Chains A and B, each alone.
Chain A
Amino acid sequence: MSKINRRDFIRVTAGAGLVGGTLGFPGLLMAASPKVVVIGGGVGGCTAAKYLRKLDPKIEVTLIETKKAYTSCFMSNEVLSGDRTLESLTFDYEGLKRHGVNIVIDRVTAIDLAMKSVATESGESFNYDACVVSPGVDFKWDAIEGYDAEVAETIPHAWFAGPQTMTLRKQIESMPEGGKVIIVAPPNPYKCPPGPYERAAQIAMYCKHHKPRAKILILDPKDRFSKQGLFRQGWSKLYGFGTDDSMIEWVGAAGGGTVEELDPSTRTLQAEVEEFQADVINIIPPQKAGKVAFASDLVEGDWCPVDKLTFESTRHPNVFVLGDASSAAKMPKSAYAANSQAKVAAAAIVARFNGQDPGEPTFVNTCYSILGEAHGISVAAVYSLDREANTIMPIKGSGGLSPMDASEEQRKREVSYAHSWFKNVIDDMMG
């Protein structure tokens, strides 16, 4: 069996793979240093850039992002409780540069699909053999009358971490003792499904110590939400939820929670049944894929359809859409999901450059929420691909929520593991 040496073996198998590969993707002949342009320096884009270089250092990777530094939205609710600064969520792109990624700070206008090039606002263009698009979400501003990007400067969404996170924090700090905060939750699907409910808890965490008579009301166009049982349990334990004196109140769709209009001058919300007035209002608008996805014809409806084997757009070849902007059912729009999808896409791109078929994909999502100093909860899922249905399915018998009957010690450990999750996701994507 050993007459054949290793080099022959690789040559032959690679050749055999190449036949299959080029049959599958005709016309794809790679240069010595194939080029990948990554649009968007969030979790999906950064992870893809890093893992492309890790898997094949011959690939020239250029990442184009509008901001000089990345500020993570995940963990930004901790800024609202005062547990964390915005600076602690902000990271530069030096780590990716060390991995040999070319970082360009500019705004992409559109992808020229025919020319396989990406144009930017400053007039530059970048050719690609494969393009990774990970622009995150954009808002649908027409959903709530009276609310738009300009109003959001004073009545913040704070759904991208940044100046608006600080605006919201300052408004909560300066509201009167016994003040009222309203969080308007978005309809599905949106990024970070448990985010609005964790946000209520984080604001309550601050108020419990500094404004104990304050109230936080969530107006929700949905009747159910992520980790609902665990949130209700945690809110009850920590903030009196369910009692007359509860700090947190939740009104779902059936109770008239759908908000139709905002009067910014009086901070009054017109919901389906009644009006609500508050000292601080936080509106998280309905969402859709980021602008560049629309500008580049990658969208059907609000999101970008992809072949979930590779995350290649089903609308245009050689363009791979990751993270929140992609239509990746049944994965949620989360940091961990984007991180996981990026590795699948990176491996698929490398396989294609080498004339090979993509490997079987595997995905994980893990998402923590912190409700109090010592109260964390999580949801986890491991997924495989159902190719026929093009659906990413949770593997039966695995995953799920933190148990309802977990001990205090377990809840406390989940806070610590949530912080580990944060540090390791950041390090894995750009460290």
Chain B
Amino acid sequence: MSRERHIIILALLALLPITALAESPTAAALSYTCAGCHGTDGSSVGPSSPSIAGMDPEIFIDAMQDYKVDKRNATIMNRIAKAYSDEQIKGMAWYFAKQKLELLPQSTDTQLVELGTTLHDKYCEKCHEEGGRSGDTGTLAGQWMPYLDYAMEDFIAGRRDYPRKMKRKVDAAIKAEGEQAMPALIHYYGSQHNSAQKEASHE
């Protein structure tokens, strides 16, 4: 094939989405509409809706798919997730994965953070590596603390399915430290915004 013909064909292919796939907005356009609650490009300024910038795309997709079928406890996300096709969810997942996570400091209790550090090292660190930085088990480091609190309440009350092994670890942490355990862990993760920010985004 000549270079010219090659270029022309590619150019025509590039135009195709305008006509053939006119139904779907771009991943960026879809992702922009999330900013009113999750912040510009997914970095929430709080106080409770979670940041989704730099999120692992698979975690994003799983969350949206669970919301879509009312499998995960929600206030509003189940209603919103139902609007999107699998392809659109995938597109948004990659859009947010590529955004830099910008975190703001939160006020934490020093004693709780100290206890949380111990608990994290003992029960959580194997999966939530490096202080719970963004990875294939979600973003805990620097995440908004009320959101972490809601998530843990939902796990413990059986409103959200635990990922593999997590229930055993949570039960053990609570057995060891009682009612202090969850606040301690939440304060620990809430205090980790600096370490989380050092992390490079998914490129």
A residues near B (Cβ < 8 Å) are 1, 3-4, 8-9, 12-13, 15-17, 20, 51, 335-336, 339-340, 343-344, 347, 357, 359-364, 366, 378, 380, 382, 384, 395, 397-400, 402, 406, 409-410, 413-414, 416-417, 419-421, 423-425, 427-428, 431
Q: Is the CB of A427 within 8 A of B40?
A: yes
Q: Is the CB of B24 within 8 A of A424?
A: no
Q: Is the CB of A424 within 8 A of B35?
A: yes
CB distance from B178 to the nearest CB of A (A): 21
CB distance from B47 to the nearest CB of A (A): 6
Q: Which of B1-39 contact A (CB under 8 A)?
A: 3, 6-8, 10-12, 14-15, 18, 22-26, 29-30, 32-39
Among residues of B, the one whose C-beta sits closest to the C-beta of A415 is: B48
Question: B14 contacts which of A13, A51, A363, A424 (Cβ < 8 Å)?
Answer: A13
Question: B79 contacts which of A12, A400, A421 (Cβ < 8 Å)?
Answer: A400
Complex interface: chain B residues within 8 A of A398 (CB): 79-84
Secondary structure dominating the interface of B? helix
Assuming the contacts A343-B32, A427-B45, asked whether A13 and B15 have C-beta atoms less than 8 A apart, the reply is yes
CB distance from B141 to the nearest CB of A (A): 19
CB distance from A199 to the nearest CB of B (A): 22
Complex interface: chain A residues within 8 A of B117 (CB): none
Q: Is the CB of B10 within 8 A of A4?
A: yes
- Tell me if B150 counts as interface (CB < 8 A to partner A): yes
Secondary structure dominating the interface of A? helix
Q: Is the CB of A431 within 8 A of B40?
A: yes
Query: How far apart sit A400 and B10, CA to CA, in the bound complex (Å)?
Result: 42
Question: B7 contacts which of A4, A20, A366, A395 (Cβ < 8 Å)?
Answer: A4
Known: A380-B76, A382-B33, A428-B36. 20 other contacts (CB 8 A): A3-B6, A4-B7, A9-B10, A12-B8, A13-B15, A20-B18, A344-B29, A360-B29, A362-B25, A380-B79, A398-B82, A398-B84, A399-B79, A414-B75, A417-B37, A417-B76, A420-B48, A420-B144, A428-B39, A431-B40
- Tell me if B146 counts as interface (CB < 8 A to partner A): yes
Query: How far apart sit A251 and B35, CA to CA, in the bound complex (Å)?
Result: 37
Question: A359 contacts which of B26, B40, B76 (Cβ < 8 Å)?
Answer: B26
- Tell me if B49 counts as interface (CB < 8 A to partner A): yes
CB distance from A398 to the nearest CB of B (A): 4
Query: How far apart sit A363 and B3, CA to CA, in the bound complex (Å)?
Result: 41
Q: Is the CB of B75 within 8 A of A417?
A: yes
Q: Is the CB of A424 within 8 A of B76?
A: no
Among residues of B, the one whose C-beta sits closest to the C-beta of A16 is: B11
Complex interface: chain A residues within 8 A of B82 (CB): 395, 397-399
Among residues of A, the one whose C-beta sits closest to the C-beta of B18 is: A357
Q: Could you list 23 A-B pairs, sorted by A, with CB under 8 Å?
A: A4-B10, A8-B7, A12-B7, A20-B18, A339-B35, A340-B36, A343-B33, A347-B29, A357-B18, A360-B22, A360-B24, A363-B33, A382-B83, A395-B83, A406-B75, A416-B48, A417-B76, A419-B47, A420-B37, A420-B44, A421-B36, A424-B44, A431-B45
Q: Is the CB of B79 within 8 A of A359?
A: no
Give the 6 A-B CB pairs with smallest separation, nearest first.
A382-B83, A398-B83, A420-B49, A398-B82, A364-B33, A362-B25
CB distance from A132 to the nearest CB of B (A): 16
Complex interface: chain B residues within 8 A of A423 (CB): 45-47
Complex interface: chain B residues within 8 A of A400 (CB): 79
Question: B25 contacts which of A1, A339, A359 (Cβ < 8 Å)?
Answer: A359
Query: How far apart sit A420 and B143, CA to CA, in the bound complex (Å)?
Result: 13
Complex interface: chain B residues within 8 A of A8 (CB): 7
Among residues of B, the one whose C-beta sits closest to the C-beta of A54 is: B40
Query: How far apart sit A414 and B36, CA to CA, in the bound complex (Å)?
Result: 15
Assuming the contacts A420-B37, A423-B46, asked whether A399 and B29 have C-beta atoms less than 8 A apart, the reply is no
